[in-house]
Copies of this chain bind each other. A is one copy, B any other.
Amino acid sequence: MRKGDTQEIRRLNRRAILSHLRRGPLTRADLSRLTGLAKSAVSRLVEELLQEGLLEEGAFTSPPLGRPGTLLHLRPGARFALGAEVGVEGTVLLALDWRGEVIWAKEWRHPKAAGPEERFARLFQEALPKTEGALGLGFTLPGVVVGERLLFAPNLGWRELSLKDLLADFPLPTLAENDAKASALSEVFFHGEENLAYLVLSTGLGVGVVAEGRLLRGANGAAGEVGHWQGQGERRCACGRKGCLETELSLEALLQHHRALGGEAEDVDTLRAQAQEGDPLVQASLAHLGEALGRFLANLAVAYDPARVVVGGKAAELFPFLEGPMRRALEAHAFLQAHRTLPVQPSSYGHLAAAVGGASLFLARFFELGGLWAESPRRNGGRYAEVAFGDRRGPGA
């Protein structure tokens, strides 16, 4: 339970101003109207934010009547964070501006057998020269992450890993998150949606759910591990059990099914090419997957009731071929009328989504604190032993 004092009010009002400016340039008068603050209060806070280099003055408005106002906007690059996705196949690293722009991005692949040490060593080697001025590094893993521990990542074969140890020498604050959850954040953080489900359809299947603007994590960070819903046949899953949903609905499942039909394809690109050429077998396999996806979405709708579903992950590149069968199955199985027309769209950050979400863990925190953060970026002599992992408070307003 937060207490209130005069500092807290200032923080609240700075946050209100920054939040409004995230949606676009505004004059001081606009801000006064939007926040309900007195003009004098807005002027004072804006002055402060200009001093700190967070805001910039821009063009003048030209209203039909009265004095023109000065537009204010968030200064590009004034704050940014690093984000990384440590995936099954490879790693994505990027820097994300506080306005949502990807400043730079880099990707590389790993040998399948590469363990945590190897992957993180490369990540740090790449990230180290880029840390200057960053708020932190948020990275994602395709597994159950809670606080500073990775509990289980079936598709990497990792279990009970202490991330703290791996990160001991990195000179920035770090936060870890599940990849689907971070991806959901990437969709939501720059548009302020309240209810959304981000489906990662890849080697496995996972979903990141945003409910009332907050990321759903659960007690062990396992909320949204819908790839491991059981009751779908008897196929063995990477998690060690049988009949998990992702044995039927995933890239792995698609390739298996396709092979069982007699098809030959190694990866998504081949499949897409074949589908575009009109290969009937490939189209049948994709329709099969689309139908499973639609049935699944009907269940997802009664579980989380999102206002919108985003499909990401590698298999999502096949989305155009899945959409029709998916739509028909969803309509056939929907519980509510509203679910029949549930919008289902491909991801807007594409394959960078998870890494963008990782970075926005830090940006979210920055905005939540009204920009009063990272002003002393080197407490504790450059080390961050006291760093908070997997922030339980969740981002967003």
Given contacts A144-B336, A307-B219, contact A229 B12 (CB under 8 A): no
Q: Which residues from chain B contact A35 at a C-beta distance below 8 Å?
A: 1, 3
Q: Which residues from chain B contact A299 at a C-beta distance below 8 Å?
A: 229-231
Contact B336 A222 (CB under 8 A): yes
- A375 interfacial by beta-carbon distance below 8 Å: no
Name which residue of chain B comes closest to A333, CB basis: B230
Q: Which of A209-217, A251-259, A320-328 contacts B (4 or more CB under 8 A)?
A: A209-217
Please measure, in the bound complex, the distance between the C-alpha atom of A367 and the C-alpha atom of B73, giving whole angstroms.
37
CB A8 to nearest CB in B, in angstroms, measures: 6
Q: Which of B20, B214, B295, B304 contacts A212 (CB 8 A)?
A: B214
Q: Which residues from chain B contact A372 at a C-beta distance below 8 Å?
A: none
Q: Which of B224, B301, B394 contacts A222 (CB 8 A)?
A: B301
Please measure, in the bound complex, the distance between the C-alpha atom of A260 and the C-alpha atom of B177, giving whole angstroms.
48
- A121 interfacial by beta-carbon distance below 8 Å: no
- A151 interfacial by beta-carbon distance below 8 Å: yes
Q: Which of B9, B221, B226, B394 contacts A6 (CB 8 A)?
A: B9
- A228 interfacial by beta-carbon distance below 8 Å: yes
CB A316 to nearest CB in B, in angstroms, measures: 21
Please measure, in the bound complex, the distance between the C-alpha atom of A206 and the C-alpha atom of B256, giving whole angstroms.
35
Q: Which residues from chain B contact A112 at a C-beta distance below 8 Å?
A: none
Q: Which residues from chain B contact A9 at a C-beta distance below 8 Å?
A: 4-6, 8-9
Given contacts A216-B304, A217-B305, contact A11 B1 (CB under 8 A): no
Given contacts A212-B392, A218-B304, A303-B226, contact A3 B333 (CB under 8 A): no
Kindly state the interface size class of chain A when it binds its partner.
35 or more
**Within residues 183 to 228 of chain A, which ones have a CB less than 8 A from any CB in chain B?**
194-195, 211-212, 214, 216-226, 228
CB A28 to nearest CB in B, in angstroms, measures: 15
Q: Which residues from chain B contact A111 at a C-beta distance below 8 Å?
A: none
Given contacts A3-B35, A8-B9, contact A222 B19 (CB under 8 A): no
CB A204 to nearest CB in B, in angstroms, measures: 12
Please measure, in the bound complex, the distance between the C-alpha atom of A225 and the C-alpha atom of B298, giving whole angstroms.
11
Contact B220 A338 (CB under 8 A): yes
Please measure, in the bound complex, the distance between the C-alpha atom of A152 and the C-alpha atom of B301, giving whole angstroms.
15
Given contacts A36-B3, A211-B211, contact A335 B228 (CB under 8 A): yes
Name which residue of chain B comes closest to A195, CB basis: B219
CB A65 to nearest CB in B, in angstroms, measures: 27
- A306 interfacial by beta-carbon distance below 8 Å: yes
**Within residues 289 to 344 of chain A, which ones have a CB less than 8 A from any CB in chain B?**
295, 298-299, 301-307, 333, 335-339
Contact B4 A306 (CB under 8 A): no
Complex interface bits, A1-37 against B, C-beta within 8 A gives 1, otherwise 0: 1111110111111011001100000000000000111
Contact B217 A214 (CB under 8 A): no
Name which residue of chain B comes closest to A13, CB basis: B4
- A155 interfacial by beta-carbon distance below 8 Å: no
27 CB < 8 A contacts A-B: A1-B16, A1-B20, A2-B16, A3-B36, A4-B9, A4-B11, A9-B9, A151-B338, A152-B335, A194-B219, A212-B392, A218-B306, A220-B305, A220-B336, A222-B301, A222-B305, A223-B302, A223-B303, A228-B302, A229-B303, A230-B295, A230-B299, A230-B333, A231-B231, A231-B295, A231-B299, A241-B335
Report the 4 A-B pairs with minimum CB-CB distance, sorted nearest first. A218-B305, A4-B12, A4-B9, A219-B307
**A residues with CB within 8 A of B:** 1-6, 8-13, 15-16, 19-20, 35-37, 144, 151-152, 194-195, 211-212, 214, 216-226, 228-232, 239, 241, 295, 298-299, 301-307, 333, 335-339, 392-394, 397
